[in-house]
Structure 1
């Protein structure tokens, strides 16, 4: 299936030298790969969003109840 936008882009590219067409095609491949990664990330996030919300609520409740302990994020060198 080809949309009018794709047809227009193809016509524009056909007017360019082959080496430029190849560069454009490579840019488009990279751009489409990035878009597909973003779509996959968004779908994954949507599937897990309720679990993340529940975990955040549990953590907040544990903090309020004094059941949580602070994490030391400072990296300390251990002697060898």
Structure 2
């Protein structure tokens, strides 16, 4: 990399920094998802039970 012009070296470094930040964000997302996965499963099971019991109603979402 030292043989590249300094401006190109700077671009490579910036690209690597952005990529590392992206990887950190992905790790954080994965950790957050793992920490909430059981709650999401329980909520889905509860929703299925409420639908089966006739307790659930469709959402009336009017997007205007």
Partner in structure 2 of residue 15 of structure 1: 3
TM-score by length of 2: 0.92
Q: Give the gaps of 5 or more residues in structure 2.
A: none
Task: Give the ranges of 4+ consecutive aligned residues of structure 1 lying more than 2 Å apart after TM superposition.
Answer: none
**TM-align CA RMSD:** 1.0
Q: Give the gaps of 5 or more residues in structure 1.
A: 1-12
Partner in structure 1 of residue 26 of structure 2: 38
Q: Which has the higher contact order (CA 8 A, sep 6+)?
A: 2
Alignment match of 1:51 (pick from 31, 39, 60): 39
How far did residue 72 of structure 1 move? Answer: 1.8
TM-score by length of 1: 0.75
* Greater Rg over alpha carbons, structure: 1
